[in-house]
Amino acid sequence: MTTSTPYRSVFSCGLLSGQVILVTGGGSGIGRCTAHELASLGAHVVLVGRNTDKLTATAQEITGDGGQANWHSCDIRREDDVKAMVGQVVQQQGRIHGLVNNAGGQYISPLASTSAKGWQAVIDTNLTGGFLVARECFNQSMQQHGGAVVNIVADMWGSMPGMGHSGAARAGMVSFTETAALEWAAHGVRVNAVAPGYIASSGMDHYPPEAADMLRAMRHTVPQGRFGTEAETSAAIVFLLSPGSSFISGSVLRVDGARPQMRMGWQQATAPVEVQQRDAVRAFDGFHRALTPKVFQS
């Protein structure tokens, strides 16, 4: 089945027709955008998260746009809950073709002020939870049928000062990605990661008000001089799920405008507005339901 929805994907209509793709954290931000694009390309999207209101709203958006979606409430940090959720998806849909391991979260805290409880909470959400969901998708479906996994990490190259807990978890997820790519290759399963840099997403709305000035200034540390969009991140995820990446596994695709390459002493200014509009680097806004983070609203 192919579908025609308002999402302006760069990929061919019907590219993922008939596929079942599970998206964790699919009720908001990058996960919500990715779910919309996957559905626009013909996939049946299974949204997973803890906030049932957000999951319901996103599923209704997708079906209202002509796509296919349903949702399952699950705390990915709880092993038994993950096993049961994946089992229900396989029972209902027959198999899982793809997984977008997107659920995550962190808070601003220097290492010296981070409690063991806070550290563990971020590790459980950004590393252990992703491992559990990927493992169950493999054990309950992909081991028999093959598939593709895309783990969402972060721009942690050169460290994540102020978010050391998240940096450690994301680095661990990169290592997990590489190991799973090797161990699961014989079963026809590819495992890759996408590392978003500074993306204008609803996740920014969860930071405290005093972080607003810092968030708005972050674009000046990006050589391209701007934030990325949710649609630019989603496009990278879709590519790694698509047949076009069939010989790519164990890799990390950065979506960050070359931000990790910024160096002290390099005098070139970030790209001015007129340069940001050139074809090769112009922001892509394919998501017709994109929401501007509150911190950037006048």
Superfamily of domain 20-280: NAD(P)-binding Rossmann-like Domain (3.40.50.720)
Tokens of 186: 């014989």
Provide the 3-class DSSP secondary structure of residue 218: helix
Element of type H or E holding 53: helix 52-64
* pTM over cut 0.75: yes
What pLDDT is recorded for position 201? Answer: 80
pLDDT over 80 at 7, yes or no:
yes
C-alpha to C-alpha distance for 169 and 52, rounded to whole angstroms: 26
DSSP 123-187: HIIIIIHHHHHHHHHIIIIIHHH-EEEEEE----TT--TTBHHHHHHHHHHHHHHHHHHHHTGGG
Say which range, 68-72, 86-90, 101-105, has the weakest mean pLDDT: 101-105
Report the 10 Å Cβ neighbour count for 221.
Answer: 13
Closest alpha carbon to 290 in 30, 66, 9, 14: 30
Spell out the domain ranges in the chain: 20-280
What is the mean pLDDT of the segment spanning 55-82? 97
pLDDT over 90 at 274, yes or no:
no
What pLDDT is recorded for position 267? Answer: 61
Report the 10 Å Cβ neighbour count for 124.
Answer: 16
Say which range, 67-76, 149-158, 239-248, has the weakest mean pLDDT: 149-158
More confident residue, 281 or 196: 196
Grade residue 1 by pLDDT with cuts at 50, 70 and 90.
Answer: very low
Tell me the C-alpha to C-alpha distance, in Å, between residue 34 and each of 38, 99, 135, 290.
6, 11, 21, 11
More confident residue, 169 or 38: 38
Closest alpha carbon to 14 in 29, 3, 27, 28: 3
